[in-house]
Structure 1
Amino acid sequence: MTDGPARRVTSADVARIAGVSRATVSYVLNDTPRQTISGATRARVLDAAATLGYAPSAAARTLRTGRSDVVLCLLPDWPIGQEVGSLLTHLSTEFAAAGLTFVVHPGTPADRPGGDLWKAITPAAVLAFTGFSDAGIAALRAAGVALVVALLGPGPRPHRELQATQERIGRLQAAHLADAGHLRIGYAYPDDARVRIFAEPRLDGVRAGCAERALPEPEVHTVAVDAEAAAVAVRAWRSAGVTAVCAYNDEVALAVLAGMRDTGLDAPAGLALVGVDDLPAARLAAPALTTVTTDQRAVAAHLAATVVAAVRGGERPVLDAAAVVRLVRRAST
C-alpha cells in the first residue's frame, strides 16, 4: 500500500498555530521592512514555521513578485570531473549568497530540448554552456528570462564568457614549452567528442602561442586514455621531430606518459609534457606533471555576477583570463 502525497503545509497553518494573521506570517518570513511586529510575535511565527516544517511556495512567490529566484544551468553532456564539479559547487555558493536558487540539469543526447526545461521551471535566468538558436533566444526574451552563455556559442550578445580563458590555457602551455627551447610542439587532442567545446579553443591557443614565436603549427594527434593508443601518437610525434607536447588535460597527459613508458621514453628527456587541470594524479605521476590550473572559485564568482547583472540590471563584469589561469611548473618539463 502506498500513501498519496501529503498535504502541503501553508502559511494559514502557521498563522493558526502562532495565533496571528496570514499577513503577519508573510511579513515575518519575508522580513518585510517598515512593519511594527513585536519580537514576541516574530518568535511565535518563526517557532510555528519551524515546528510545522513550513517552506514558502516558490510558485506563489513568483506570482506575488513577478520574478522567480531560480537560475537554471543547462549543462551539456560533459563528463563531470574535478574541474566541472568544482565550478558547479562554487556557483551554488555564489548564487546562494545572492539570494538565488541554483538548479543544474546535466544534459544527454536523449534529453528533451533545453527550451522545454526552462518553460517548465520558469527561471529568472538560464546559464547555458552552449548556444541557443535565434528562436530560443527570442522565446527567452519574450518570457523575461535572462540568458547567459558561459562558454561558446551565440547569446543575446556574443559575450562568450569563458572563451578567452580556454584560449589562455593553450597559450600558456605553448609559451612555457617554447621558452624552454622547444621548437617543435605537439598537441594531444582528446578522443571524447563531448569535450570538443573545450579542446578547440585550447588548441587555438596553442596555435596562437606557436605563431607568436614563429614556430611551426603544432603536430596534432588524437590520444585516447589508453597506453597502447598513446604510444602510437608518441612514435608519430618523435618521427615528426616533436620534442614537447601540450595535452588537452591531465588525463590525456597521463596517457601520453604511459605511452612514453611503452616506447622506452621518459619525460622530459624523451618528450616534455604539459597538462591541464592540476589533478591530484598529476602531482603523483612519475615524473610529476607540469600543468595549467584555473581558479574555479573566481570563474564562478564572475559567472554569478554576470547572471545577477542580467537579472537585476547593472554592468556585466569582465573576466581577466590572465588572473584566473596559471601554470604549475613540475618535473615533466
Structure 2
Amino acid sequence: MAEIEKASIIADVETLRRIAQTLGVGIAIVDPDTWEVIFENASFFNWFAPPENADAPLTQRMPGLKVDRARARLKEGRVYVCETETSYGGRKTPLAVELKPLPDHPSGAVVVECHDISKQKQAEYLLESYSKMAEKNAKDLEREKERAERLLLNIMPKAVFEEMKDYGTVTPQLFEHASILMIDFVGHTEMEIARDPAALVTELNDMFTVFDRITDMFNCERIRTMGDGYLAVSGLPEPTPDHAHNMARVALRMLRYIEKRNTAHAEAWHCRIGINSGPVIGSLVGVQKYVYDIFGPGINMASRMETLSEPMKITISESTYQLIKDDFQCEERGIFEVKGFGEQKLYFLEREHPKAR
C-alpha cells in the first residue's frame, strides 16, 4: 500500500477518532497485505494489546484469526466472522469479530469490529442450563408416569387401563362367558400368624408372585388378593372362547406348584381351589383409590366351590364341567347343597388329557 494511501486513510480516520475512542465496540483498521494495525480505538487496544513489539500485526495480537480464510473472503468482498476470547481486567471476555472491506475506499483497507458477547454467552449458558433442567424434569415426569402406569396395571387389566387413560372413566361391562377361580389357604391359625407375621407375608408374596406368572401364561387376570385368598378370572376384559380351559390349566399348575413347594420346605401349605363359569360384571370402582373388581352370582358360586372343596383339591361347578369335560379328567363328587344356589352337582378337576394339550 502506497504511503500516500496510508496518509489518506489516517486523515479520514482522524475526524472519527474521538468518537471511536468512546465506543464500547472495539474498532480497528488494518492493512490487508501486512495486517498492520493502522488505527485502533481504546476498546480494541485493551482487548488485543500488542506484545513487546508495539508494531505487531493483527495476526500476532488476535488469537483464533485464520488468516488464509479471512483473506480469501475479504478478496471476494465478503465479511469474515469469527469468535475469540481475550483476557483483560483479570477476566476472560468472549468476543465476536467481523472483518470487512472499508466501504468505498480505494486502499482496500479492512475494518475490524469486535463486540463483547459476554451477556449473550451467559444467556446461552442459562438457556442451555434451563434446557437441561427441563429435559431432566421431563425425564423425571416420564419416569413417574411409567411408574404410575405400572402401578395401575397391577390393579386393573391392560384394556381397562387403556380405556381409563383415553376416556377418563371405565364403563361397567357384562361378560356373558367367563370363568372365575378362587384359591384359599387352610390350616394357618391366628397363633401361627402372630408368631412370625413377616415370614408368613413373605411366603404369601412369593406364592402370589408365581400365581401371577401362571395366570399371565394363560391370558387370565388376577383381580385381587384377600388375605391369603386369590381371585382370578378368564374371559375378560377381552372375550376368550377357551376361558374355562385356561382357568382349569391355571388351577392345575397352581396346585402342582404348591405340591412341589411343600416337598422343598419344612412347613407345608395346603390350599382349596374352586372354579365356576358364568356371566360376571367388570367395573372400575372407587373415586380416589381405584380398583378393578368383578361382581355377580358367578363370583358367589366360585366362592362356594372353594369353600366346598377339600385341601389340595380343585372343585368345579357343573357349568365349568360341561365346558371342559372332553379335554380334562374330572371326578364326580355328587350333589351338594350350595348356599344361595340350591342343590348342585360338583366335580373334582384331576388332570388334563394329553391329547388336549
TM over 0.5: no
TM-score category, normalised to shorter length: under 0.3
TM-score (norm 2): 0.21
Larger CA Rg, structure 1 vs 2: 2
TM-score (norm 1): 0.22
Please state which structure has a larger fraction of its residues in helix. Answer: 1
Please state which structure has a larger fraction of its residues in strand. Answer: 2
Structure scoring higher RCO (CA < 8 A, sep ≥ 6) equals 1
